[in-house]
Structure 1
Amino acid sequence: MNTIDILQNVGNGILSQANKHQLVALQFAAQGFSKLADKYQSHAEEERDFAKQVFNRILDLGGNISYQSQEAFEVPTTALEWLRQDLEISKNGLKDLSPLIKAVSEDFVTYDLLKDYYKDEDDDLQWTQQQLDLIDFIGYQNWLTQQL
């Protein structure tokens, strides 16, 4: 897979995650969990910014960008369900991203871009894990109260 193909796949994956986070933010807002809604709205915007950078990099390299359809996604109805699902998505995404970063290591601009995205996603994974640990410690209902 060449650099443009890697960027195309990563960019579309980022857009897919941004859309999921946008929908989850709407769900949390409707449930009255404003802190969670704000967190995931902000995260969706960050991801769209990363996607924009990735697609601009494709154009800088002389490639053509394309939007790939996304698989269906049913929004989880509880925050706990979402956190567990998001943790697994993040773990798998980082595992998949790591070899792609190595594959573009000679293109320093692309390497730095993907490395920055990896760090951002790792930070999000750590936050999600902390929330699940906090739920285990204080209980789900107490945690939900903090999200109002």
Structure 2
Amino acid sequence: MRGDPTIIAELNGLLAYEMLAADQYFVHAHVYEDMGFFRLYERIKHEQEEELEHAQKLIRRILFLGGTPDLGTRQTPTLAADVPAMFKADLDMEMKVVSELRRVMALAEEKRDYVTRDTLLSLLDDTEEDHVYWLEQQLRLIDAMGIQNYLQSQMDGSVSE
């Protein structure tokens, strides 16, 4: 099927964000592991895997529309050295993704590409209801518990090599 070139370009823009998120989560997960915060490592590694699933959906849609996925356009991840700063960097990134998803969904609706819109809606649901919600929750917990208590709660478990 031949899709609208504007939609394909916008999907490639979203793909760049999903790959940015995967890259950022990949590094942050390993920072958490190195710090000994194994619960955070497991959660953020899971988030990275979900971002790659989002990228896969976008790639499949781009291909279906007759486009070429652009994995060469990459943004630089925002990396941080402490847990609250990593959460804030991840939350900022996810909020940008939410904004872009909504914008491209509106364009898809305008162009009557309802399958693309629905595909993006599933990504939006996952981003808002899982990623953003969890990050906001962790920042609230840090405020409520204090950073030391929060970090202590993230140390249980271990990572097998």
Scaled by the length of structure 1, the TM-score of the pair is 0.93
Q: 1:21 aligns with which of 21, 25, 29?
A: 25
Task: Please give the alpha-carbon distance, in whole angstroms, between the structure 1 residues aligned to 2:67 and 2:95.
Answer: 29
Per-residue deviation, 1:73: 3.3
Per-residue deviation, 1:56: 1.1
Q: How many residue pairs get matched?
A: 148
Task: Please give the alpha-carbon distance, in whole angstroms, between the structure 2 residues aligned to 1:136 and 1:79.
Answer: 13
Percent of aligned positions that are identical: 26
Does residue 132 (structure 1) correspond to residue 139 (structure 2)? The answer is yes
Question: Counterpart of 2:68?
Answer: 64
Runs of 4 or more off by more than 4 Å in structure 1? Answer: none
Which stretch of the first structure deviates more once superposed, 107-116 or 68-77?
A: 68-77
1:105-127, CA deviations, whole angstroms, 9 ceiling, x for partnerless residues?
22222111111111111121111
Per-residue deviation, 1:71: 3.2
Q: Which amino acid aligns with 2:154?
A: Q
Q: Which runs of 5+ in 2 are unaligned?
A: 156-161
Does residue 30 (structure 1) correspond to residue 34 (structure 2)? The answer is yes
Q: Which runs of 5+ in 1 are unaligned?
A: none
Q: Which amino acid aligns with 1:133?
A: R
Does residue 79 (structure 1) correspond to residue 79 (structure 2)? The answer is no
Task: Please give the alpha-carbon distance, in whole angstroms, between the structure 1 residues aligned to 2:122 and 2:86.
Answer: 25
Task: Please give the alpha-carbon distance, in whole angstroms, between the structure 1 residues aligned to 2:92 and 2:46.
Answer: 20
Q: Which amino acid aligns with 1:92?
A: K
Scaled by the length of structure 2, the TM-score of the pair is 0.86
